[in-house]
Amino acid sequence: MAVITVERKPLTFLERTYLPQIAGGLKTTFKHLIAPKKTLEYPEQRPAIPVGYRGVPTLVKDPNGREKCVSCQLCEFVCPPKAIRITPGEIPADQAERAHVEKGPQAFDIDMLRCIYCGLCQEVCPEEAIFLQNQFSMSGYTRAEMVNHKDRLYELGGTLPDAHHKWDKKKAAEEHGNAH
């Protein structure tokens, strides 16, 4: 194996004083002292969430305050880590506001310890009822606390605007439309 001898140059006078290096370092320090801040005082300050961010999956209501989910269980089917668990139920005929929808979830649980935030549930939902919104931090002391139940999912989801009003149209058709 060949041995290569590396020539070590002696330090110049200025280098031996260390002063240029100290000045360079101080320049960086003073620049950041007066430059705008890059960090946030989390959790008091929160970052701006970009559009299309996939946070915690939530259930939303339509502008009339009616739950949009009809418990078709497609999200439960598509969910890769099997985080979603739905118990479907029938909406009784005596509830005038929602009886025409016929079906809604009795229970809707999302296990956030299983959820991988892939967004397939939002993509597959035929009723546009489940959305991955801006919420990004979930914590809890027990496993049970990390399961979002139906109430919590609606609390997180809130109300979103609706482009279709599918069930309102259905009800309007039933009342005045093409009745047979």
Q: Which residues bind another protein (CB under 8 A)?
A: 70-74, 76-77, 88-90, 93, 100-103, 126-127, 166, 173-174, 177-180
In terms of CB distance, is 32 or 164 closer to another protein?
Answer: 164
Gyration radius of the chain's alpha carbons: 29
In terms of CB distance, is 56 or 125 closer to another protein?
Answer: 125
Contacts of residue 134, Cβ cutoff 8 Å, sequence gap at least 6: 49, 53, 55
Rounded least distance, CB 88 to another protein, Å: 5
Rounded least distance, CB 113 to another protein, Å: 19
DSSP string, 48-92: PPPTT---SEEE-B-TTS-B------HHHHH-TT--EEEEEEEPP
Rounded least distance, CB 130 to another protein, Å: 12
In terms of CB distance, is 56 or 70 closer to another protein?
Answer: 70
In terms of CB distance, is 56 or 74 closer to another protein?
Answer: 74
Rounded Cα distance between 30 and 144, Å, is: 50
Rounded least distance, CB 158 to another protein, Å: 22
CB atoms within 10 A of CB 114: 15
